[in-house]
């Protein structure tokens, strides 16, 4: 059974995502940009938070980990190779691992470049990948800790996801405008020559992508 995905705005230009496994009730927030909107979204949906799936350590992605864990006693999942920077981490995952959110299985990809310990969660049965700050609708994340070569390798992993009979919706954690003025033109110029059929969530959000 496919995940239910609820997208909502947080902070100035972040997206929050709640993902809900209907078979078991397991519910995760992708990152923790801002506590109040996440709790409000949980209230709105009537879901109980069981997991936090962190993509990377930045404050607008892991800053709400501890207050949310205190309120919900949820399990925090994050990158093994960046565990020391993920507050409250319980489960450490690495490239090639899988993680089960209830009955929904995520494949873990290490996608360094924006940070050294950035990961993405790919739920193949739901045709959805949560890519954090690795890729945006019109660009990619800034190279705070990695090299252009690392970022290119990471984008290549995302480009290899299914994009024909079934396409993968890539869900990034920022609205495109501010971050789309990519400082990594060599990387992005290369990217633009890649497959064009990968769909990304632009301003219209996940629901719009679903209608395509
Ligand atoms: Fe970031």
Residue 75's domain is classified under what CATH number?
A: 3.60.15.10
Sign of CA dihedral 71, 172, 99, 45: positive
Pairing of strands 27-30, 119-123: unpaired
Q: Give residue 189's pLDDT band: very low, low, confident or very high (50, 70, 90).
A: very low
* 207: pLDDT strictly greater than 60: no
Q: What backbone phi and psi angles, to 5 degrees, belong to 90?
A: -110, -40
CA of 174 to the centre of ligand 1 (A): 9
pTM: 0.85
115 CA from centroid of ligand 1 (Å): 7
Tens digit of each residue's pLDDT (9 = 90 or more) over 68-111:
999 999 999 999 999 999 999 999 999 999 999 999 999 999 99
Distance CA 111, CA 93 (A): 13
Exposure on the CB side of residue 132, measured as CA atoms within 13 A: 34
How far does residue 123's CA lie from ligand 1's centre (Å)? 21
Longest CA–CA span in the chain (Å) reads 46
Domain span at residue 54 reads: 4-211
**Could you give the number of structural domains in the chain?**
1
In the reported structure, the alpha carbon of residue 58 is separated from the centroid of ligand 1 by a whole-number distance in angstroms of: 5
């Amino acid at each position: 059974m496919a995940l239910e995905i609820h997208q909502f705005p947080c902070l100035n230009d972040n997206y929050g995502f709640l993902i809900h496994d209907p078979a078991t009730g397991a519910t995760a927030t992708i990152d923790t940009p801002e506590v109040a909107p996440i709790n409000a979204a949980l209230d709105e949906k009537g879901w109980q938070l069981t997991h936090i799936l962190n993509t990377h350590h930045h404050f607008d992605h892991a800053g709400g980990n501890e207050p949310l864990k205190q309120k919900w006693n949820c399990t925090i999942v994050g990158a093994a190779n960046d565990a020391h920077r993920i507050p409250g981490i319980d489960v450490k995952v690495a490239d090639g691992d899988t993680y089960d959110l209830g009955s929904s299985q995520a494949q873990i990809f290490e996608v360094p470049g924006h940070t050294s310990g950035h990961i993405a969660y790919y739920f193949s049965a739901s045709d959805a990948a949560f890519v954090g700050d690795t890729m945006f609708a019109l660009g990619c994340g800034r190279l705070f800790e990695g090299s252009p070569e690392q970022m290119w390798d990471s984008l290549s992993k995302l480009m290899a996801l299914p994009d024909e009979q079934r396409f993968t919706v890539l869900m990034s954690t920022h609205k495109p405008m501010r971050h789309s003025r990519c400082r990594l033109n060599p990387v992005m110029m290369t990217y633009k020559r890649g497959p064009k059929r990968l769909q990304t969530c632009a301003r219209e959000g996940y629901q719009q992508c679903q209608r395509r």
